[in-house]
């Protein structure tokens, strides 16, 4: 003889959240879009920072290193008034 298990149907507890079919209202959609935009900006900044950390000298123009050095070597200090 095999034992048969039967479950008596129990009522589900009442739901405390919004109904399943309910959508987001205008304020919730606005906040969701704003948070989504902030996350996109955060990801873009993280990608840029990682690229700078991996190759810091690729974005710097070479002329900025030599222009200021030549002026200092010639002894031109226009900004220093004595």
Q: Which of 79, 82, 60 is closest to 71 using CA atoms? A: 79
Domain of residue 48, residue span = 26-56
Q: Looking at the domain assignment, is residue 33 inside a domain?
A: yes
Q: Looking at the domain assignment, is residue 61 inside a domain?
A: no
Q: Looking at the domain assignment, is residue 50 inside a domain?
A: yes
pLDDT in tens, the chain (82 residues): 556 677 767 776 776 665 654 688 999 999 999 999 999 999 999 999 999 888 878 767 666 555 555 555 555 566 655 5
Q: Looking at the domain assignment, is residue 45 inside a domain?
A: yes
Half-sphere exposure of 8 (CA within 13 A, CB side): 1
Q: Looking at the domain assignment, is residue 46 inside a domain?
A: yes
pTM beyond cutoff 0.75 = no
Q: Looking at the domain assignment, is residue 36 inside a domain?
A: yes
Total domain count, the chain? 1
State the Rg of the chain over Cα: 33
Q: Looking at the domain assignment, is residue 2 inside a domain?
A: no
Q: Looking at the domain assignment, is residue 40 inside a domain?
A: yes
């Amino acid at each position: 003889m095999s034992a048969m298990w039967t479950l008596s149907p129990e009522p589900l507890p009442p739901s405390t959240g919004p109904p399943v079919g309910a959508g987001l209202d205008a304020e919730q959609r606005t906040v969701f879009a704003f948070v989504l935009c902030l996350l996109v900006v955060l990801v873009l900044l993280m990608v840029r920072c990682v690229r700078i950390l991996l190759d810091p000298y690729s974005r710097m123009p070479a002329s900025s290193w030599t222009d200021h050095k030549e002026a200092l070597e010639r002894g031109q200090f226009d900004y220093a008034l004595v």
